[in-house]
Amino acid sequence: MSFEQDGIPAHLDNKVQKLIILFVFDRMAISLSESALLDICTSENDWLTYMDCKQYLGELIDTNLLYRVPKSEYINITQDGIGCLALFFTRIPISIRDDINAYARENRMRYKKRQSYFCDYSKNADGTYTVIMKINSDIATLMELKLVVANRQLAKYLYKSWVDKASQTYALIHDTLLD
Domain ranges of the chain: 4-113, 116-178
Classified as helix, coil or strand, 138 is coil
pLDDT at 69: 85
Q: Give the separation between CA 3 and CA 29, rounded to whole angstroms.
A: 32
Top pLDDT among 91 and 4 is at: 91
Q: How many Å apart are CA 125 and CA 123, to the nearest integer?
A: 7
Cα–Cα dist 16/89, whole Å: 8
User: Does the pLDDT of residue 11 top 90, yes or no?
Assistant: no
Angle between helices 50-62 and 14-28 (to 10 degrees): 80
Residue 8 pLDDT grade (very low, low, confident, very high; cuts 50, 70, 90): very low
pLDDT in tens, 71-111: 778 899 999 999 999 999 999 999 999 999 999 999 998 88
Q: Tell me, what's the pLDDT at 137?
A: 75
Q: What are residue 31's phi and psi, to 5 degrees?
A: -70, 145
Say what the pLDDT of residue 149 is: 96
The pLDDT tens digits of the residues spanning 100-149 come to: 999 999 999 888 877 788 889 999 999 999 999 998 876 778 899 999 99
* β-strand pairing of 117-123 with 141-149: unpaired
In this structure, are residues 152 and 129 in contact, taking their beta carbons and an 8 Å threshold?
yes
Please give the class, per CATH, of domain 4-113. Answer: mainly alpha
